[in-house]
Amino acid sequence: MKRILLGMVCLFSSIFSFSQIIITGNANPKVNQTYNYWITSGHHGISGTNATWKVTNGKFLDGSTTLTQNVDVMGVDVIWTSQNQNGTLSYTYINGSQSLSGSYTVSIESNSGGGSPNPPQVINEPPREVKTISVYGPSELYCGQIAEYTISGSGTDHFKDYVETRWSADPIGFEILEQSETKVTIKVKNIIRNNVNVGLTIYYDKMTRWNPETNVTTISYKIATGGVYVPIKPRIFSSKKVVCNDELAIYSIPNLPPNIEIEWLPGPNMNLISGQGTVNAHFKPLKSGYVTVKAIIRGEGVQYSGNTLNIENSDVWVGKPETPTQIQGFDMRQFNPDTTYPFLVGHNSSIETFNWTITGNASKYVLHVPTQYNNNMMVTMGPKGRGSSFTISVTAQNRCGISASYSRTGTIQTNTGGPIGGITDGVTNGLKSTTTVDTPSPVTIKVYNFTTGSIVHQEKNAIDFNIQNTSLKEGIYIIETTDKNGDKTTEKVYKKNQ
């Protein structure tokens, strides 16, 4: 019996901590005067639904002691009626299984001035229309994840004066780490729950006063709202993205709430070796290629249909990469001499790098584009290779080995009756055909070596820049232009010696 009671007390404490509403206002009001009280906690109900206010030793402006109003109003006016007594103002919100509440106690003092104050005078009236603002961010969140949600920077421009932006994140699921007018950073708590709210509210402050000198009150009115409801799920992580055939694939599910059951399910070509029922599991792959493992999460803490959730991971590759099947850039079979052509091979997560080779006397020199996976290269056809052929071969490589080679063969034309693709007259095919930056206002110019990525030339307050007028050697470069607003543009160019 003691265990049952203790469990009920713990459960009640947990629910209460998640549902506490904070009310703020004058704690020592004068009798028979009107005071405004408002909610300062972030999550106080679903927009467009109603909450109930109650008051003891006081009344609302309509003379009642119970008032029902839209949660978007956020505040209420109270006249305290019993001097030298304590008064209580309470707020209750119930919607389905969601219950929120809070209360505020005041000490009512005598009114030495006697009588009621002058009627309040409104200084600023708020806009009447409540607008909707779009909130952007992840559509699904994982336990323990840190995520950002934003609105467009222009979203608040038309609200002008007396505006305050407040982000809210359901305290059941999130902790707000940082926020600004247009962005909030949250940390996801270790819960498993469908549809948890991240929202934003923009307020207009309506100022009222009882007389010019003594009593000015500001009431916040909601004028714009936005938000998203997102699911929170656990996630299966793998210790490696690439696993060799003689190794075990290790998976884990971190950041789970307590009292959760886990059932691991191997996908095709996978055997579960150990870890059933725990957060860590070891699988033996039986075949090369992408593999899948699944897990069923069960328990009262899984707030999805049937208290059950299925998750999976299909990101792990087993074995060495497959052989490439295409080299982009061989749209034609004949190529011009003294012309540079780009060649590209597709990449996926099973590949760490590519290895390129060229055979034949067709290449003058080769430039490797500085990409992470070395999946792009540029070849200049030599003038002495007219009428001859060349072959480009590529292999894919990861920590488990190297794939078989894939090759394509092309021919350099005998004459140059016109360009056939490629890079002609010193300018990269598909890129801007000028090496001049001509702007009406000064800009900052940085020139990067295309192969190494290092800065080889820069100019400040440039108006008319031409890379041909620099002392740089012949080759391919990246020009980065930064204007006075900090906006950047880049272009790849080929500097040819005059």
- 438, two tokens: 């001509």
Q: Tokens 């071969």, residue?
A: 393
pLDDT tens, residue by residue, 146-188: 999 988 655 555 555 556 777 888 888 999 999 887 889 999 9
Write the CATH number of the domain with boundaries 132-229: 2.60.40
Q: What is the pLDDT of residue 110?
A: 84
pLDDT at 350: 93
pLDDT of 357 reads: 87
Percent with pLDDT over 70 in the chain: 72
The pLDDT, as a whole number, for residue 160 is: 53
Q: How many CB atoms lie within 10 A of CB 131?
A: 14
Is the confidence at residue 496, as pLDDT, over 80? no
The answer to pTM > 0.75 is no
Task: Name residue 61's beta-bridge partners.
Answer: none
Beta strands in 111-162 (DSSP E): 121-122, 131-132, 141-142, 146-150
Query: What is the per-residue DSSP string for 449-490?
Result: ETTT--EEEEEEEEEEEEGGGS-PPSEEEEEEEE-TT--EEE
Fold: same for 22-108 and 132-229: yes
- Give backbone dihedrals phi and psi of 154, rounded to 5 degrees, phi first: -90, 0
The pLDDT, as a whole number, for residue 309 is: 95
What six digits make up the tokens of 33? 């005067």
CATH of region 327-428, choose from 1.10.3470, 3.30.310, 2.60.40, 3.30.420: 2.60.40
- Between the two ends of the chain, the Cα-to-Cα distance in Å is 95
pLDDT in tens, 193-242: 988 888 877 766 665 555 444 555 666 666 777 888 999 999 999 999 99
Class for domain 22-108, per CATH?
mainly beta
Between 117 and 8, the more confident residue is 117
30-49 pLDDT tens trace: 888 888 787 876 567 777 68
pLDDT at position 266: 95
Q: Domain ranges in the chain?
A: 22-108, 132-229, 237-318, 327-428, 443-495
Is the domain spanning 237-318 CATH 2.60.40? The answer is: yes
